[in-house]
Amino acid sequence: MSSDFEIAAAIVQHQITQALPTVSMIVKFVEPTLQIRTTHPTSDTKVIRSVLTALEDCRDALHRLPIESVAIYGMQGTRNILWKKTFSLEEVLNDTATRNNRDLFSFNNKHMNRAAFPAAFLFSAIAHWTGLDSLLLGLRIWTHEFGHATVAWFSGHQATPLPFGWTNVGAERSIVVYICFSALWGLLFYTGWNEKKRGIMACSVVAAIVQFWMTWLTSQDMFELRLAFGGVGGEFYLSTLLMLAFYVPLPNKWRWDCWRYPILLIAASTFLNSVSFWNQIKRGTVAIPWGTILNGSGDAGGDMNQLSDMGWSDMQIVRTYVGLGQVCLLILLGFYGFQFLRTANFRRSQL
């Protein structure tokens, strides 16, 4: 029994340490209870949820022992108990779906994962139809400017996106910018590796490759074309990526369980507004937005003006942005369909 306990305790200790690297945890077995002792001063909901989630990955190890319950203690010293939470082993291992579905911030909440996209688009459609989305105009403009900035950053240029319709972009490539963003991808990869989040690791590798290609293998003319395209383009691809990220649990130090809800609404509003606007342009009811917000339609430095100067026809501009919106919409629908099917089988996979 002692060897079985030592193996099981080591597995549980490892999983909990991975889930909560900044919180001290000690695993003990006092038959028939698995005791998890921590120095955390309060019964923090996120800490308890992370512990229970980590235990789900230890079900095989836990079944080696005659455990009937799991007790989580907050300790001051070795004897003083600050708080205690007790769960039956059945509740820990077999009632995962119920707990997740009660937790609005859980990434495995079946109801929220199914309702989030439709609710966000419905809210955005009503706001767009009633004109209430004008309250989000500043955030949509900022998304546009971040579209310019992301092109600049991935191309090794300094950029400062401002929320009033302007992005300062450095004229020359900056090795400092390249090193800083490379370090960011490296840190993200390392954190994902520590927490065994393969999706995060893959995203960081892809980002590093794209950054290298756009910085060192792209001409200045192509950079300027992408920079001009990236403003409106960012309204499509950045809002799409932010909506997809709603389903992605970031590493513990980067968690955004709560903030992903308002970001989803902002992204959905931006996406829907841009799709509607460019389809109106395609139908001829609205003109192409020449010029800039700051200096009006006569400003030759506007994004559409620059694309036109680089040889793009009006039809090519419209078709490209409308097509980009359609591709992004197909990606969103496909990803949502995958998540819907995954959550339909979630409880079965946990039992």
Q: How would residue 333 be classed by pLDDT, with cut points 50, 70 and 90?
A: very high
The CA–CA distances, whole Å, from 124 to 176, 276, 289, 330 equal: 39, 11, 22, 18
Domain edges within the chain: 2-94, 110-350
Residue 110: closest CA among 348, 269, 344:
344
Q: Which CATH class is domain 2-94?
A: alpha beta
- pLDDT tens-digit profile of 263-322? 999 999 999 999 999 999 999 999 999 998 877 887 888 999 999 999 999 999 999 999
| pLDDT score, position 124 | 94
Distance of CA 174 to the CA centre of its chain: 27
At 345 the pLDDT is 56
Confidence grade of residue 348 (pLDDT, cut at 50, 70, 90): very low
pLDDT score, position 192? 86
User: Tokens representing 61?
Assistant: 């190890």
Q: How many CA atoms lie within 13 A of 72 on its CB side?
A: 23
Q: Give the mean pLDDT of the chain.
A: 86
**85 to 48, 92, 102: CA distances (angstroms):** 8, 12, 18
pLDDT of residue 246: 92
∠212-209-160 over CA atoms, to 5°?
60
Mapping DSSP to helix (H, G, I), strand (E, B) and coil, where does residue 178 land? helix
Q: Which of 100-104, 127-131, 178-182, 216-220 has the lowest mean pLDDT?
A: 100-104
Judged against a pLDDT cut of 60, whether residue 235 lies above it is answered with yes
Spell out where 109-263 has E strands: 159-162, 166-169
pLDDT digits (tens, 9 = 90+) for 21-76: 777 788 877 778 888 888 878 877 777 777 777 777 677 677 777 778 888 888 88
CA 277 to chain centre: 26
Residues whose CB falls within 8 Å of the CB of residue 22, separated by 6 or more in sequence, listed in order: 252
Cα 27 versus chain centre, distance: 32
Each residue's pLDDT tens digit, 120-174:
999 999 999 999 988 899 999 999 999 999 999 999 999 999 988 899 999 999 9
For residue 71, give the 3-state DSSP assignment. Answer: strand
